[in-house]
Homo-oligomer: A and B are copies of this chain.
Amino acid sequence: MNPEAKVPAFPEAAAVAESGPAHSVDRILAVAYELFSTRGVRDVGVNELIERSGVAKATFYRHFPSKDSLVFAFLEQRDKQWTMDGILSEARRRGSTPQEQLLAIFDVFGDWFRREDFEACSFVRVMLEMGPAHPLGKASIDYLAKIRGHVRAVAEEAGLVRPEEFARSLLILMKGSVIQAVEGDTLAADRARQMAVWLIGHHSG
């Protein structure tokens, strides 16, 4: 029927457009992670995601029934690979005691704030972009609560009194320093760390 058929295009080149993972779903997730984490959720459209990951639109919607479902997957990935592996595990590695591990969170933050691709915490950002009542906002709140649970567990290991209240106060310092770092205060992590020292002191026995 078609006299010139479909041009073979790039049987390989297009497939590895991002030189990333071979499978479509992995490439979509990798592109989504990069775009969502640096530019937010509302600013990135499905068409751009498709183009950048070198995937057909039908393929995208076979793996993810809607854009929101991709955002859910992104938040989960962000929790695993950024919160857990990037921040909390690293902080545990750097400190030899639970107290030191709590303070090391802000050392890791300091390194993070000085990265040039630093662009704020995705959970806070999505929560504010979508609102706390939106399913994606609620999911973000859940992931933030998960972080708080982790902090609380370390606080209990450290023998701090009222660990839940401690964790909530420490998260105020964490969130506040992130926001301030977005504004350009690269020393925000040090200021928060100092306040964390006082906070730990008042929860010790």
Contact = CB atoms under 8 A, between A and B. Distances in A.
Interface of A: 39-40, 42-43, 119-120, 124-125, 127-129, 131-132, 141, 144-145, 165, 168-169, 171-177, 179-180, 182-185, 187-188, 191-192, 194-195, 198-199, 202
Given A172-B180, A176-B173, A124 B132 contact: no
Contacts of A184: 132, 141
B168 A175 contact: no
Given A127-B182, A198-B198, 11 more contacts: A42-B129, A132-B183, A141-B183, A168-B188, A169-B195, A172-B177, A172-B191, A176-B177, A195-B198, A195-B199, A198-B202
26 contacts: A40-B128, A40-B131, A42-B129, A43-B131, A124-B128, A125-B128, A127-B183, A129-B129, A132-B183, A132-B184, A141-B184, A144-B183, A145-B183, A168-B191, A169-B192, A169-B194, A172-B173, A172-B179, A172-B191, A173-B195, A175-B175, A175-B180, A176-B176, A176-B179, A198-B199, A198-B202
A185 B185 CA distance: 26
B202 A188 contact: no
Contacts of A120: 128
A141 B125 CA distance: 16
A174 B172 CA distance: 9
Contact of A124 (B179, B185, B191, B194): B179
A43 to B, nearest CB: 8
A180 B65 CA distance: 32
A166 B31 CA distance: 40
A179 B123 CA distance: 11
Contacts of A175: 175-176, 179-180
Most buried by B among A39, A128, A184, A191: A128
Contacts of A124: 128, 179
